[in-house]
Structure 1
Amino acid sequence: MTQFKTILNGILIGVFAGAVVSLFRWAIQHMMTLMQLLYTGGLKNPLLMVLGLGINLLVVLIVGILLKQQPDIKGSGIPQVEGQLLGEIDYSWWSVLWRKFLGGILAIGSGLYLGREGPSIQLGSTLGQGIAHLTNQVGFDRQVLISSGAAAGLSAAFNAPIASTLFVLEEIYHNFSTNIWVISLTSAVTSDMVATYVFGLKPVLYMKSNPLPLRYFIWVIILGIVLGVLGRGYQLVILRIGRWYQKTIKLPWYFQSILPLVLIIPLGAYFPQLLGGGSRIILGLTGAGYSTLALIIFFLIRFIFSMISYGSGVPGGIFLPILCLGGLLGAITGSLAIQFGFVSQTYFSSFIIMGMAGYFAAISKAPFTAILLITEMVGTLTHLLGLATVSLIAYAVLDALNGKPVYYSMLQQLLKVKQQFNLGKTVQIVSSIFVGSYMDGKTVSQIPWPNGSLLTKIVRNGIEIVPSGQTLLRWGDTLYINVSTKNQHQITSKLTRLSSES
């Protein structure tokens, strides 16, 4: 795929993903506004409460049917995208696209504590898959279109094109291949333009803030430790909540959303500001003047019901709910520091911003994405030092507690459930050689290639090389490798270690 063709494909995917995800965002916002009116109005008029219950039971039925028809729309969608790019999962793009779109609007729009970003990523990736299908692009070219669609979907969801591109590179591919980042950035910028036209230039989580001075950075260290420890707790619960549902809810898995969709009615009535992914409560933290106790209560409600919402399996993400929980933890820490006179009230919002970045960096183990994502969503570069510090500390603490990237762990669970067997087939993967890795400086014949893998091409500085046993591998080389779809994930993991670890 030439760079010119790559950019054209990126623009095409960006336009479609931007339009679809913008409509997705718009529909969720309007449905949630309607449901909030029903929930809060039900305190004075019981008929509105009954109407809200009726709508939610209908949502249970419709979403349940969609899940039964197409299980790949379940949950966030990010593990499915990762699995698809690894060749472990595949599905019909149109079947997933419209069902994820409709199911996500109904589940998230009802007020469940779920985010739009995971479904947006899957919507974008399926559009990329659809374009690949319609233009007869296969193998690596198809993978590139799927990954660029994922970046475009996230960009349109959050108006954060740079972070969206980095998310694909850091979280999904774990390398910075030129072919991947060029098309991903193109599609992300294009989709952001479309979403900006619809929703305006104002950043999604814009808030007035002052960066924390260095003399207060002891609180950044404390916050980073808290976020790392509690981030590990989040991982342990979110990865087990599905099994807990199976043991306690004696209904078919695709109708288990009846629990959160009934519980959301009283929660929406008494805590309407907590509905949805959490952007509303984040934006309201700086001016509402909540007490530390109220912030702790909000965190506990959000944490518990986020788990209940996601564990039901409905289409919806954890991306924005994680940011919301991190923002609340930052607000709690900042409130305590201010209450005891250690920090000025001027810097309260800085704690919220750092809390969001640190919590996401820990749970996803993607600190670069966390730093850039919050920078773009808040709309200021002045917090970069604090964001980098808290993200690295939270990341290190979670790593010391043996935490793994949450989306990778979710993918492992998904693969165990699906138990796909694709015997006798091969798929092409792409891997870049990093400086100081095992492959760097060795010849092809010196590499212990895993069984079921075959190196077919090397691209070095834009020049294609047909490999032989004596071809010297160098850092920066891009390897094109055919691997068997039987045990493909294990083969790919071994190749990644050889090309990225010394």
Structure 2
Amino acid sequence: MSNTLTDYRRLSKLRGHRQINFIRAAIVGVAAGLLAVFFQHALHQAEALRGLVFSYAQSFPFGWPLFALFCATLGGVSAWLTVRFAPEATGSGIPHTKAVLLHLRVLPWRRVIPIKFIGGVLAIGAGFSLGREGPTVQLGAAVGAALATLLKVPRRASAHLISCGAGAGLSAAFNAPLAGFVFVIEELRRELSPLTYGTALIAAVTADIVTRAIIGHSPSFEIRNFPSLPLSALPVVLLVGVAAGIAGVAFNRLLLFSLQQVPRLRSNLPRSVRAALIGVVVAAVGWYVPDVLGPGHGAIERLLHMAETPTAPGVKYLLLLFVLKFLLTIVCYLSGVPGGIFAPLLAQGALLGLLVGSGVSSWLPEASGGPAALGVVAMAAYFAAIVRAPLTGVVLIVEMTANYDLLFVLLAASMTSYLVAEWVGEKPIYESLLQLNLSLRGPKESKNLEPILIDVVVEPRSPMDGCRVRDLELPRGCLLVTVKKGGEEHIPGGDTLLREGDEVTVVIAGERATSSSFVRSLAVAPYD
């Protein structure tokens, strides 16, 4: 009787903690939404300034040096700030956020928030082919870390606030709450415990409410009112998926190869100077092809809406734009300034779809279904091939288009591109970037070795499936504290049998990075 009463009290306490975390997640969502709105507004002002400088420079016969000076200065200052004050703010920020959630990196939010904000505004405002969505994810994660610190949340529970803050950032960046929620589940956490999806969903929705209340209901990309594709266009949709898979693999490999070469270049050039030189390259390319500048939102929206009109861009221009956007995104990412690849990937995908659609339309106009619709479909397919998060890409496009009739073709193209990347053995880009970063700098854990709390879901045929708790051989410092079976939580004993679908909570002390990776591996089914 006493044991039953003790277990009941422990479970009641756990449920109380979960409800408190839901309230904290809502606060994180509001704060992340506000920060994302301010970031977006600042970027719009910076891009408007770039447009004024560009127009002013073009009014002179030899005005290009002025525009080049503008791009180089902003890029160089952005890189200098990042290197000097917050190296963690380099690049997209999503790989760093994943490392924090795996306890392989720390998140110094006091430095990351201002530097990511200012550095991102400078670099993207300079026209670098980088996006704000990745930085907004890291800013949201930093908001979660800040709240955990200010509210004195135990470190073992702070990971949920960091992950839900990241999802809230993506939700606010795209005005797409479901995409932010799915991104946390599919890419960042990869588990479905009630606490994870509860906090992620609450934060994503509250962040989106804040965003819509301040800037309206418009999504990041205005790609609505495109016709649905008929079933007869399915062969072309699959062709788009194959093309997106091949191009996505090429992008991943070239980006990783380029990043691997940077440390090998025995150059004494500071990163700020390198970024300034890349700014000159950006200015040179953008001077003649302005559509490649920046993330690509405006250019892609215009090209997609022009695709069904007599003024539609030709195949040669689309090919030129795709190649330049492809290469310039990689070059800009090498600069190390704050900026992500999320939006540029969607822009490249749209260009690829327009290319395939325009080519097929000239031969089989009845079968293509329209270049614009294929451009929208290719955005999800290209994203799936590179990031390997097909559900996030599909949900994101459905939310931005508000066209659920596209769901089938989006799934067909995304799964095709996903399988192409899987078939050639290509790893997800954020996972590869994380591994590259760890190989260059090694893991860096917090000096505070307070225990952490992780949740895993037992997959079929995983080492945990069909295993009793006493036979798990958990590392030293690990304690399995609760098991949720069929919606009911239990305090496990040594004889408790784990089955697929069970939600397991483990407390880890000591060597957290190694132990957490080992525990997660026990719940994952092996690849055949």
Amino acid at match of 1:434: E
The match for 1:19 is 34
> How far did residue 250 of structure 1 move?
4.2
> How far did residue 457 of structure 1 move?
3.4
Matched, 1:500 2:524: yes
| Deviation readout 1:20-59 (Å, 9 max, x if unpaired) | 1111111111211211232243222268645434433432
* Residue of structure 1 aligned with 2:472, choices 444, 447, 451: 447
The match for 2:432 is 409
User: 1: CA distance between counterparts of 2:290 and 2:55?
Assistant: 7
Most deviating of 299-308 and 211-220: 211-220
> How far did residue 132 of structure 1 move?
0.4
| Deviation readout 1:166-203 (Å, 9 max, x if unpaired) | 00110011122211111111111111122122322133
> How far did residue 484 of structure 1 move?
5.6
Amino acid at match of 2:277: L
> How far did residue 267 of structure 1 move?
2.6
Amino acid at match of 1:240: F
Structure 2: 5+ residue stretches without partners: 1-15
Contact 2:230 2:369 in 1 (8 A): no
* Residue of structure 2 aligned with 1:363, choices 386, 405, 409: 386
Contact 2:95 2:434 in 1 (8 A): yes
Amino acid at match of 2:437: L
**Residues 485 and 283 of structure 1, relative CA distance in 2, 3 Å threshold:** farther
The match for 2:292 is 274
Most deviating of 403-412 and 250-259: 250-259
* Residue of structure 2 aligned with 1:244, choices 233, 238, 261: 261
* Residue of structure 1 aligned with 2:283, choices 265, 268, 288: 265
SS in 1 for 2:338: coil
Most deviating of 330-339 and 199-208: 199-208
> How far did residue 251 of structure 1 move?
1.0
**Residues 396 and 451 of structure 1, relative CA distance in 2, 3 Å threshold:** farther
Contact 1:41 1:49 in 2 (8 A): no
User: 1: CA distance between counterparts of 2:396 and 2:224?
Assistant: 15
| Deviation readout 1:80-134 (Å, 9 max, x if unpaired) | 1000011100032111111111101111111110010110000000001000000
> How far did residue 348 of structure 1 move?
1.9
> How far did residue 262 of structure 1 move?
1.1
Contact 2:105 2:444 in 1 (8 A): no
Amino acid at match of 1:98: P
The match for 2:181 is 165
RMSD of aligned C-alpha atoms?
A: 2.3
Paired residues for 1:56-71 under 5 Å: 56-68=71-83, 69-71=85-87
SS in 1 for 2:227: coil
The match for 2:67 is 52
Structure 1: 5+ residue stretches without partners: none
Most deviating of 304-313 and 199-208: 199-208
Contact 1:424 1:485 in 2 (8 A): no
Paired residues for 1:128-167 under 5 Å: 128-167=144-183
SS in 1 for 2:336: coil
| Deviation readout 1:317-375 (Å, 9 max, x if unpaired) | 00111111111111110001101124367622210011000000111111111110111
Most deviating of 267-276 and 56-65: 56-65
Most deviating of 249-258 and 95-104: 249-258
* Residue of structure 2 aligned with 1:374, choices 397, 403, 412: 397
> How far did residue 432 of structure 1 move?
1.7
The match for 2:53 is 38
The match for 2:423 is 400
The match for 1:122 is 138
| Deviation readout 1:455-491 (Å, 9 max, x if unpaired) | 34334456553333211113333322244664x5554
Amino acid at match of 2:317: A
**Residues 33 and 344 of structure 1, relative CA distance in 2, 3 Å threshold:** farther
The match for 1:85 is 101
User: 2: CA distance between counterparts of 1:57 and 1:285?
Assistant: 28
Contact 1:274 1:302 in 2 (8 A): yes
> How far did residue 145 of structure 1 move?
0.6
TM-score normalised by L of structure 1: 0.94
The match for 2:11 is none
**Residues 80 and 150 of structure 1, relative CA distance in 2, 3 Å threshold:** same
The match for 1:110 is 126
Most deviating of 259-268 and 80-89: 259-268
SS in 2 for 1:175: coil
User: 2: CA distance between counterparts of 1:88 and 1:356?
Assistant: 32
Amino acid at match of 2:466: G
* Residue of structure 2 aligned with 1:304, choices 327, 331, 340: 327
Paired residues for 1:203-218 under 5 Å: 203-205=219-221, 206-218=223-235
Task: Determine what percentage of the aligned residue pairs are the same residue.
Answer: 32
> How far did residue 495 of structure 1 move?
2.8
**Residues 485 and 360 of structure 1, relative CA distance in 2, 3 Å threshold:** farther
* Residue of structure 2 aligned with 1:474, choices 499, 511, 515: 499
The match for 2:303 is 285
SS in 2 for 1:176: coil
The match for 1:221 is 238
Matched, 1:98 2:114: yes
> How far did residue 452 of structure 1 move?
6.1
The match for 1:335 is 358
| Deviation readout 1:292-340 (Å, 9 max, x if unpaired) | 1111000011011001111111100001111111111111100011011
User: 2: CA distance between counterparts of 1:379 and 1:48?
Assistant: 43
Matched, 1:6 2:31: no
Most deviating of 150-159 and 474-483: 474-483
> How far did residue 435 of structure 1 move?
4.2
Contact 2:107 2:142 in 1 (8 A): no
User: 2: CA distance between counterparts of 1:427 and 1:416?
Assistant: 24
**Residues 231 and 485 of structure 1, relative CA distance in 2, 3 Å threshold:** farther
| Deviation readout 1:389-433 (Å, 9 max, x if unpaired) | 001110011001101111011111112222235599453322122
User: 1: CA distance between counterparts of 2:375 and 2:92?
Assistant: 24
User: 1: CA distance between counterparts of 2:234 and 2:448?
Assistant: 56
Most deviating of 207-216 and 23-32: 207-216
**Residues 241 and 158 of structure 1, relative CA distance in 2, 3 Å threshold:** same
User: 1: CA distance between counterparts of 2:419 and 2:292?
Assistant: 30
Most deviating of 236-245 and 297-306: 236-245
User: 1: CA distance between counterparts of 2:361 and 2:437?
Assistant: 44
**Residues 135 and 461 of structure 1, relative CA distance in 2, 3 Å threshold:** farther
